[in-house]
Amino acid sequence: MGKVLTGMGHRVEVASLDAPGQSYEQDFPLPLHMLGPSKTGYRYCPGLVPWLRQHASEYDAVIVDGLWQYHGLGTWRALQGQKVPYFVFPHGMNDPWFKHAYPLKHLKKWLYWPWAEYRVLRDAAAVIFTCEEEKLKSRESFWLYRCHEAVTAFGTQLPPQDGEPLKAKFLAAYPELQGKRLLLFLGRMHEKKGCDLLVDAFSQLAGQHPDVQLVLVGPDDAGLVEQYMAVARQRGVANRVSWLGMLGGDLKWGAFHAADAFALPSHQENFGIAVAEALGCSKPVLISNKVNIWREIEQGGGGLVEDDTLAGTHKLLARWLAMSPAESAAMGVRGKDVFMRHFTVEAMAQGLLDIVQRHGSPARLSLEGSR
């Protein structure tokens, strides 16, 4: 986004709580201020407040990227009494799913909330949500809640469009997938992603559709894949589920282009970059209504949406499996249109500018985050 804004004639700089000497510094495409080192998982950085107090007047706006780390509280402290407005992207970090999934962590957040994050959001010029669903859900996590709400697009770069050579490269690396209809999941193997629902529902339907293969792509840091495969073995379809581990570069994009559909029955997903990437590759997406961009996708006809339950996931897959290849491909074409309307970096950058300009007429933007 910073590169796009720079191309539009704005000046964008990034302040990081990391210490100097990071591997990404040399190739970073924007002016970078390394204010660390920071301490603990909270990323407390004593250099942040003095730096902002000294330099904030050089910028027309400060963007705080994310919650629950020191960069938000530090910005609030530094800009009290100054004329420079700051804006906050929560990125789904206030979703009520976390309250129900991790009640002890939520209690710990409550002890912290009134003195820090509540004030950070309350005093921001605007809190910027990346879809309507995120805005509505953010109101449910804490009863002590007040902020100026705004909604803008969130996006990613258009994926590589040379689909056929990328597909061929992927299938050459995994020849056992040749000639099959591929249902792709790409992301972390994490409990919130609903992969257990996906494998279970697919295992129930696989016998009726012998040409379909479920392909799981992504790291398994939590050791969940063995649980998924145990379900497939119990149902006698272990050979119909492939876990390829982490893929990057051409193999990642080849997986998207080789797939016939993308599935994410997640229990909580603020945006889902992989969903947008699948849309950008003209693939129909099969998602739960806990993926916050489901409204835009359903309204645009780019995918199917059901509940994040086993019954909902079963229905989701059954609806897609009942479609003809031509119908599925047409849905993918509509999905590409949804991507171009809602989920490009250009749309995100323009949306951010529109929000900031409603609070002034900036010529420059400062992006400030913990990464």
22 with 138, same domain?
yes
Q: Give yes or no for a contact between 194 and 268, defined as CB atoms under 8 angstroms apart.
A: no
151 with 258, same domain?
no
Residues 6+ apart with CB under 8 A from 341: 300, 347
81 with 185, same domain?
no
Domain total in the chain: 2
By residue count, the chain amounts to 371
Give DSSP secondary structure letters for 206-232. GGG-TTEEEEEES--TT--HHHHHHHH
364 with 290, same domain?
no
Among 243, 257, 192, residue whose Cα is nearest residue 214: 243
136 with 100, same domain?
yes
145 with 25, same domain?
yes
215 with 118, same domain?
no
Predicted local confidence at residue 369, as pLDDT: 54
Please list the pLDDT of the chain residue by residue as tens digits (371 residues).
Answer: 888 899 999 999 999 999 999 999 989 999 999 999 999 989 999 999 999 999 999 999 999 999 989 999 999 999 988 889 999 998 877 766 667 777 887 788 888 888 889 999 999 999 988 877 778 778 878 888 899 888 887 778 889 999 999 999 999 999 999 999 999 999 999 988 999 999 999 999 999 999 999 999 999 988 899 999 999 999 999 999 999 999 999 999 999 999 999 999 999 887 788 999 999 999 999 999 999 889 889 999 999 999 999 999 999 999 999 999 999 999 999 999 999 988 888 888 888 898 998 875 444 455 555 44
231 with 331, same domain?
yes
188 with 249, same domain?
yes
Q: Give yes or no for a contact between 198 and 214, defined as CB atoms under 8 angstroms apart.
A: yes
121 with 254, same domain?
no
Helix/strand/coil for 325: helix
d(CA 14, CA 370) in angstroms, rounded, equals 10
d(CA 160, CA 114) in angstroms, rounded, equals 45
Q: Which domain holds residue 175?
A: 163-342
Query: Rg of the Cα trace of the chain?
Result: 22
CATH number at residue 49: 3.40.50.2000
304 with 359, same domain?
no
> Is 337 exposed, middle or buried, given 0-12, 13-18 or 19+ CB atoms closer than 10 A?
middle
The reported pTM is 0.73
CA pseudo-torsion sign 142, 147, 151, 153: negative
338 with 350, same domain?
no
